[in-house]
Amino acid sequence: MASNQCSHAEGSSTTASGDASHAEGDGTLASGNQSHAEGNNTLASGISSHSEGSGTTASNITSHAEGALTIASGASSHAEGYQTTASGDYSHAEGLQTTASGYTSHAEGYLTKAFGLYSHAEGSRTTASGDSSHAEGKSTVAIGESSHAGGSGSTASGTTSFVHGYNSIAGGTNTIVLGANITGTTADTTYVDRLNIKNLFTGTSITNLGIDVNGNVVSGATSIGPISVSGTTLYSNNPSTSDFSTNNTIAFGSNAGNGATGATNSNFLGQNAGSGATSGYQSNFLGQFAGRGATNAYGSNFLGAYAGGFASSANYSNFIGYAAGNLATNASFSNFIGNGAGVRAINANNSNFLGTVAGVDAVNASYSNFLGVSAGDSATGATYSNFLGREAGSGATSASYSNFMGYQAGKEATGATNSNFFGNQAGSGATNASNSNFFGTGAGKNSSGNTVNAFGVNAGQNNGLSGMTIFANSSLPSYVDRAAATAAITLGNGASAGSTYLYYNQTTFAIEGVRL
């Protein structure tokens, strides 16, 4: 039946219903304008479409389906073979049960799928889902943009990655993998099973690669005098260093790095440096017994004989000086600098102990800064505090959130939380002096009152009263009366303009001021 103008139907049960359409054969239908259906049970419904063969469908403008049970549903698409589908615009599917659904994609072979824009899948059961990707061979998958997968069972998931071989993966950007059962995830890196080089350049070698008689690149221990190379580890021969379980490592010294585990990208220099260390990757152990037996000390630096020896949970820390941080525990993100600094310190993470034996035996002194010889020595319960000066805060207990500055300031002070002691021996020996402020040499020394403010040399020394504000007599002059004070405190006598001078009035028994 030819039902529209200029249409033509011939054969058996054919229909040409589109303008200028043409149907021929058996059971064919040309419904699109200028369409052409021929063969057996074919359908050309798109404008200027063409279907031929058996059970084929061309449903979009200028599409073409041929063969058996093929479908061309994308604009200007082409499906050929058996049970192929070209659903993407300008796509092409050919072979057996292939699918080209991406824009301008191409699928060919058996059960191949081209899903990505401009993708191409060929071979058997391959899939190209990344834009501009290419999958070939058997059961390969190209997922990354502009990626290429070849061989059998291999996957290229990284952007612009390339894999060819059996059951291998190229997962990084610009990663290239050649061979079987290789997983490459590092960007801009080439992975191979074996490497054979036909021609070599001449020059000085800086790595431990070697070439065998067949031109193969091989690895193995390379010895230059007292120095050996094994894999990516450089170590000394005499005295010997042995029992490596690391890579990308440098170890020099008798037993340096011996038994160290998880210590990749680290350096061990000195007798027994870092021996037995665990999880000490990206760290530096420099000095005799430095970092020996240290655990969870990754990202740290142990510099000096015995520095960081048997330290635990001291990651991302710096222990510099003889025995600095030795036996320290829970001292991560800390800096102990000076001979003996932070020795046996416990729970002193995120702290800085600078000076000879600063913070030695400190307990619960996290987030604190002890600067000076013996500063914070044996201090306990001194978190979030700052002790600056020789022996400042030495032996202090329960002195959190406090600041002690000066020689022996806050030494052996107890119960002095939230306090500030400034001056030589200020607050030294003070007990129960919380929420107090002592300013001046000896201010608040051996006092026992809390919530006290003492100003001046020896102000409040041995004081036992709480809730007081104390001025040293030497800092607060006394006059018979106000007239005597105003006569004495003048610009002519050396007073400073724009200042207020306090004094004690012997007549009124009050503290008064002269304002200039």
Task: Indicate the DSSP class of residue 431.
Answer: B
What pLDDT does 219 receive?
A: 60
Q: What is the 3-state secondary structure (H, E, C) of 20-73?
A: CCEEEEECCEECCCCCEEEEECCEECCCCCEECCECCEECCCCCEECCECCEEC
Instruction: Kindly report the average pLDDT of the chain as a whole number.
Output: 90
Domain extents in the chain: 1-97, 103-194, 351-471, 478-515
Out of 171-180, 196-205, 336-345, least confident range: 196-205
Q: Please name the fold of domain 351-471.
A: Alkaline Protease, subunit P, domain 1 (2.150.10)
Is a pLDDT exceeding 90 seen at residue 420?
yes
1-97 and 351-471 in the same fold: yes
Q: Which residue has the tokens 């914070």?
A: 376
Q: Please name the fold of domain 1-97.
A: Alkaline Protease, subunit P, domain 1 (2.150.10)
Reported as a single tens digit per residue, the pLDDT across 185-219 is 999 999 998 877 777 777 666 665 655 555 555 56
Buried-exposed string 7-20: b where 16+ CB fall within 10 A, e elsewhere:
bebeeeebbbbbeb
477: cis peptide before it, omega within 30°? no
What pLDDT does 234 receive?
A: 60
Q: What is the rounded distance in angstroms from the CA atom of residue 259 to the CA atom of residue 300?
A: 18
Q: What is the 3-state secondary structure (H, E, C) of 109-148?
A: EECCEECCCCCEECCECCEECCCCCEECCECCEECCCCCE
Alpha-carbon distance values, 73 to 68, 301, 369, 459 (Å): 15, 66, 74, 96
Residue 38 has phi, psi (to 5 degrees) of -145, 160
What pLDDT does 260 receive?
A: 84
Architecture label for domain 103-194: 2 Solenoid (2.150)
Reported as a single tens digit per residue, the pLDDT across 81-94 is 999 999 999 999 99
Residues 260 and 247 sit within 8 Å (Cβ to Cβ): no
Burial of 512 (0-12, 13-18, 19+ CB in 10 A): middle
The residue-averaged pLDDT of 277-286 equals: 89
Global pTM reads 0.55
Percent with pLDDT over 90 in the chain: 78
Reported as a single tens digit per residue, the pLDDT across 269-279 is 999 998 888 88
Is a pLDDT exceeding 50 seen at residue 144?
yes
Helix (H) or strand (E) holding 486: helix 482-488
Is a pLDDT exceeding 50 seen at residue 223?
no
Is a pLDDT exceeding 80 seen at residue 248?
no
Task: Indicate the DSSP class of residue 474.
Answer: G
Reported as a single tens digit per residue, the pLDDT across 442-500 is 999 999 999 999 999 999 999 999 999 999 999 899 999 999 999 999 999 999 999 99
What pLDDT does 240 receive?
A: 44
Is a pLDDT exceeding 50 seen at residue 239?
no
Is a pLDDT exceeding 70 seen at residue 389?
yes
CA proximity to 140, closest of 173, 116, 178, 112: 112
Reported as a single tens digit per residue, the pLDDT across 17-73 is 999 999 999 999 999 899 999 999 999 999 999 999 999 999 999 999 999 999 999
CA proximity to 73, closest of 52, 44, 38: 44
CA proximity to 25, closest of 84, 64, 15, 33: 15
What pLDDT does 280 receive?
A: 79
Percent with pLDDT over 70 in the chain: 91
Q: What is the rounded distance in angstroms from the CA atom of residue 212 to the CA atom of residue 419?
A: 73
Is a pLDDT exceeding 80 seen at residue 434?
yes
> 256 pLDDT band (50/70/90 cuts)?
confident
What pLDDT does 221 receive?
A: 47
What pLDDT does 206 receive?
A: 60
Reported as a single tens digit per residue, the pLDDT across 112-139 is 999 999 999 999 999 999 999 999 999 9
**CA angle centred on 145, ends 143 and 151, rounded to 5°:** 50
Is a pLDDT exceeding 80 seen at residue 353?
yes
CA proximity to 460, closest of 477, 476, 479, 440: 440
Is a pLDDT exceeding 60 seen at residue 220?
no
Is a pLDDT exceeding 90 seen at residue 252?
no
Strand ranges of the sheet holding 500-505, from the earlier edge strand across to the other edge: 478-479, 500-505, 510-515
